Amino acid sequence: MRAATQERAPTGRIRLFRLTHVIVVLTNVLQLLFMITFLVLLLLQLNEDIAVSWLAVFTPLWMSDAITTITGIQEMRRLCAPGESRRCTPPPAWQLKLPPLPEPPGCAGQPGRGGVG
């Protein structure tokens, strides 16, 4: 009985993750195909091997840009969800931990930065 419960189907969260991963992979493949199509059409148009409008040549590029915009908006909506607000806002500048600047070469032990003074 115990072995049967361990071989159960994945939970809803894992299924959602797998579906999201498949969608990301498919959109990446689609964008790659759009970019290859655009480059082929552009080269053919510039060599005057085909007689199509420039609108038709640039449409695959714009479709790829549209996919990028849509996926970017979805990612921002996911990151800025009510439970995830801490990820959406960067910390104030005075809270950033920056490393100290290194001394310029040749100025160690000398007063001032330029060695004068």
Structural domain spans, the chain: 2-85
* Average confidence (pLDDT) over 89-105: 72
Has residue 81 got a pLDDT over 60? yes
Q: Which two tokens stand for residue 20?
A: 């999201």
Residue 7 pLDDT:
55
pTM, to two decimals: 0.56
Res 25 pLDDT > 70: yes
Contact call for residues 79 and 88 (beta carbons, < 8 A): yes
Mean pLDDT throughout 55-60?
96
Confidence at residue 21, expressed as pLDDT on a 0 to 100 scale: 82
Q: Which pLDDT score, from 0 to 100, does residue 66 have? A: 94
Q: Which amino acid, one-letter code, is at 38? A: F
Compute the distance between CA of residue 15 and CA of residue 21 in angstroms, rounded to an integer. Answer: 10
Dmax over CA atoms of the chain, in Å, equals 84
Task: Indicate whether 113 pLDDT > 60.
Answer: no
Residue 1 has pLDDT above 70, yes or no: no
Q: What value does the mean pLDDT take over residues 22-37?
A: 93
Tokens for 72, please give them: 């970017």
Question: Does residue 76 surpass a pLDDT of 60?
Answer: yes
Query: In angstroms, rounded to a whole number, what is the distance separating the alpha carbons of residues 117 and 115?
Result: 7
